[in-house]
Structure 1
Amino acid sequence: MNVKDKIIVITGGGSGIGAAMARRFAEAGAKHIICADRNLEGAQAVAEEVGGTAFHTDVSLGADIVHLIETVEADIGPIDLFVSNAGIGLDGGVEVPDEGWQMIWDINVQAHIRAARVLVPKMLARGGGYIMSTASAAGLLAQIGSAPYSVTKHAAVSFAEWLAITHGAEGLKVSVLCPQGVATPMTAHMDTASVDKDGMLSAEAVAQDVLEAIEEERFLILPHPQVADYMKHKAGDPERWIGGMQRWQAKLTGKA
């Protein structure tokens, strides 16, 4: 899909990868960009920069997602590309309480489902549309130090795959973004040892990869191409993969 003259909604559009995508899509000639974020001030700054519209949206709330989509379609026009980008991280393992799991599940998984629930019938009725979701390489591999992040990102990838399989022949295009480390406010606190191996990318570099993938209508977007090799290693020899990840975990936690 060529984004020129298209109406595009980006959740989490007030900073990080979302903001970088908004700028890149604007440069590529998008007709109108809607930056939706619970940080309205950030969304307004980016929207002003790209000549778009800011929307206060908390994607953990189903009603906010419905309101966003219905308002844009009524006041601006049919959404050509919906970028379900908002997400959060949460460190920890089995000790994370139910409240933490529910919070990250609502944002990293349910937000994609709730958006698709409203959008897919609309897009199919008009012959097609495009949904791109931001997941993570953690959704294909694993995230050391965070069970909630790993689990929810795996679920996000799986849902995107299901959408592509189920509705692709009806005209729905689907992509899922799975980067490793990206320099954003979300990763500002991160110990860089966990990403130094393959490098921390800029949000702008990732946005360029996203644009190219959407133009090619490519399902899996891997800004870190090494991830494809890791996936092959994992599928080809799971036991060896787990052993290697255990050693990497021990190194990062000082238990090697």
Structure 2
Amino acid sequence: MHPLIEGRGVVVTGAGRGIGRALAVRMAAEGARVVVNDLDADTARAVAGEVGGTALPGDVATAEGVRALVDGATDALGRIDVFFANAGIDGAVGPDSLQTPDDAWDKIVDVNVLAHVRAARELVPRWLGDGRGGRFVVTASAAGLLTMIGSAPYAVTKHAAVGFAEWLSVTYGARGVDVHAICPQGVRTQMLEDAGPLQDLLSRDSALEPEQVADAAVAAIGEGRFLVLPHPEVAAYYAARATDTDRWLAGMRRLQQKVDQATS
């Protein structure tokens, strides 16, 4: 049992499958009391049954949905100690994501960015108010540290998710709110399976199982690390991007050309 997790009240959004399910299973294995949220009520109930937790299905892309989840989870758990803001979508529409319409942009911003903001808006005042703090974990992506070939909405919103997590840590970290950002590359989930010709690119450093992402999250919690990098090589890419941006962009353009050739 992990001392920072055992006995804690934990909420995982988007927990019906993939990384979210793996996080819920691992949290329960570490002794947490778990609330499972997903838009798909059937999968939320199935995972809750698997981990001995509570299913609270609903849409965390809306302020009302987030508020209902936080209130319901507080009732079920007594207190939310750890919140995994894991729900996310790809959001690209058609082969040229520059032409993604505004309504699709609105949806992915709601899910990948504003869901985090709305959850923190509900949770942080409660954590500060009782003086016991809390832990907020954002599932972003290596795309939030680097970029994403092909999908403008995904790249932009994952950068925003990392940026919000950084801001949250800077603003409230000294007041008892611990923040982590999970930034994997390819993970064997439905999103990867739906990536088409981008599968090989996303898996270039090997696609991980969702359970390996959960392992990395637990390790980062134990070590107090902000960035959760299930693919450790992402740290080198991130450093290269920062220290020689033009060279890094040139390399990404070459990758883009390979994708263009594969899809033409």
Give the superposition deviation at 1:176.
Answer: 0.6
User: What is the TM-score when the length of structure 1 is the normalising length?
Assistant: 0.97
What secondary structure does 2:73 align onto? helix
Superposed counterparts of 1:1-256, under 5 Å: 2-30=4-32, 32-91=33-92, 92-127=96-131, 128-190=133-195, 191=197, 192-254=199-261
Q: CA deviation at 1:217?
A: 2.1
Distance 1:132 1:40 in 2: 22
Percent of aligned pairs with the same residue?
Answer: 47
Contact residue 143 and residue 185 of structure 2 kept, 8 A: yes
Q: State the distance in 1 between where 2:219 and 2:256 align.
A: 34
Of 162-171 and 187-196, the range deviating more from structure 2: 187-196
Which runs of at least 4 in structure 1 moved beyond 3 Å after TM superposition?
none
> Which residue identity does 1:130 align to in structure 2?
R
Q: Contact 2:56 / 2:72 at 8 angstroms: preserved in 1?
A: no
Range with bigger deviation, 221-230 or 189-198 = 189-198
Asked if the contact 1:193/1:252 (under 8 Å) is kept, the reply is: no
Provide the C-alpha distance between the structure 1 equivalents of 2:232 and 2:45, rounded to a whole number of angstroms: 33
Q: Which structure would you say has the larger RCO, counting Cα contacts within 8 Å and 6 or more residues apart?
A: 1
* AA partner of residue 88 (structure 1): I
Distance in 2 between residues matched to 1:124 and 1:108, nearest whole Å? 25
State the SS of the aligned residue for 1:201: coil
Point out the more displaced range, 67-76 or 11-20: 67-76
Normalised to the residue count of structure 2, the TM-score between the two structures is 0.94
Deviation, structure 1 residue 197: 1.7
Alpha-carbon shift at residue 196 of structure 1 (Å) = 3.1
Instruction: Give the gaps of 5 or more residues in structure 2.
Output: none
In 1, Cα distance between equivalents of 2:184 and 2:193: 16
C-alpha separation between the residues in 1 aligned to 2:202 and 2:183?
A: 14
Gaps of 5+ in 1: none
- Find the aligned partners of 1:45 and 1:200 in 2 and give their Cα distance: 25
- Matched pairs, number: 255
- Classify the secondary structure of the residue corresponding to 1:181: coil
Find the residue that maps to 1:198 and give its secondary structure: coil
In 2, the alpha carbon distance for the partners of 1:67 and 1:42 equals 19
The root-mean-square deviation of aligned C-alpha atoms, in Å, is 1.3
